[in-house]
Amino acid sequence: MPAKVNLQLAVGPPRADGYHDLVTVFHAVSLFDQVTVNPAARDAVTVTGEDADQVPVDQDNLALRAVAALRAAVPDGGTSSPGVQVTMAKRIPVAAGLAGGSADAAAALVACNELWATGLTQQQLCDVGATVGSDVAFALLGGTAVGRGRGEQLTPALVPSTQYHWVLAFADGQLATPEVFTALDRLRGPGGYGRTGSPPQGGSGGMGPPRSGGGLGGVAPPGTTQLDAALMSALRAGDAKLVGSRLSNDLQPAAVSLFPALRKTLAAGLELGALGALVAGSGPTCAFLAANAERALELAVAMSGAGVCRSVARVTGPVPGATVVSA
Ligand code: C5P
């Protein structure tokens, strides 16, 4: 049940249903929550670990919602036992832009699918997951994948098995995803939509040294929801330096506007040698791409010394989606 970063996150205008159409390149990284399910009298969840006190344990809990959605999809699923006890050990921080809640939902789906022997295919599980949250289908799939629609329409990226080394900088605080999308709409203003055109440039957030014309948190340009061909070709080439130069996130200026300290965090990582930097999803976690494992270690040490974040973690990507680790 991995966390994710978005190597590209291009956001279109708000839709009638309140969501935004997007084009994104998801990338699963090696920061995992562990979720266990056991038969129980009724559905319940207990949470330990990182930010445990901030995870809801009622029906707002995404893992419990996933359990209910799966039960509804396979009516005989719960016959042997009326409920499940979900236990989660969290390492992915809450409301950090890393889709931790979606990872937990995906894990609960995979676990209950096994427990109930539903026989659903991965695609059917993804369809159930998509009803729980926009990022759940990707948390099931893992790897590197292009997401469209709300993010739930996935195409795995045909890329070589290059391992990328990342440093995640966890912020001292949280951001609520809907607020970040709303801030983006506000920054763009009423005239900011409807243009099509060039792939995202530096102003859409995300930044590597060759694209220094972009801002670390400048006002977002109009939405251009096109897949960044240069990013995809960098991924196909397995070229970390090129990938670093093409990282982009339309939500970044919005996240920085709500959490101005991120500007310093992003700048520090680049100054300390990252190949590229961007806000992870809706933030406030920042992700820095390093040239190799050694550079990642150096960067992690330097970042924690620089005092520009709460803590750091070294992760690699891509990693597989939610998997069963024991029967
Ligand atoms: O799908 P999920 O519940 O994860 O989305 C959380 C919120 O993020 C939505 O309620 C919406 O405000 C925003 N969102 C969006 N467009 C997307 C995905 C999420 O506006 N494609």
Q: In what order do the strands lie in the sheet with 44-49?
A: 34-40, 83-90, 44-49
* Neighbour-count burial for 17-33, b at 16+ CB within 10 Å, e otherwise: eebbbbbbbbbbbbbbb
Q: Is the CB of 246 under 6 A from ligand 1?
A: no
Nearest-CA residue for atom 9 of ligand 1: 178
Over 90: is that where the pLDDT of 322 sits?
A: no
The C-alpha atoms of residue 55 and residue 183 are separated, in whole angstroms, by: 24
**At 205, is the pLDDT very low, low, confident or very high (cuts 50, 70, 90)?**
confident
pLDDT category of residue 77 using cuts at 50, 70 and 90: low
Ligand 1 midpoint to CA 20 (Å): 7
Whether 134 is in the pocket of ligand 1, judged by its Cβ within 6 Å, is: yes
* HSE, side-chain direction, 13 A CA sphere, residue 240: 21
For the whole prediction, is pTM greater than 0.75?
A: yes
Asked about 264 being catalytic, the answer comes back as no
Summarised one tens digit per residue, pLDDT across range 128-148 is 999 999 999 999 999 999 999
CB-based contact 130:151 (threshold 8 Å) = no
**Is 135 marked active-site?**
yes
Write out pLDDT tens, residues 216-230.
Answer: 555 445 556 899 999
pLDDT at 233 over 70: yes
Residue 259, exposed/middle/buried by CB under 10 A (0-12, 13-18, 19+)?
Answer: buried
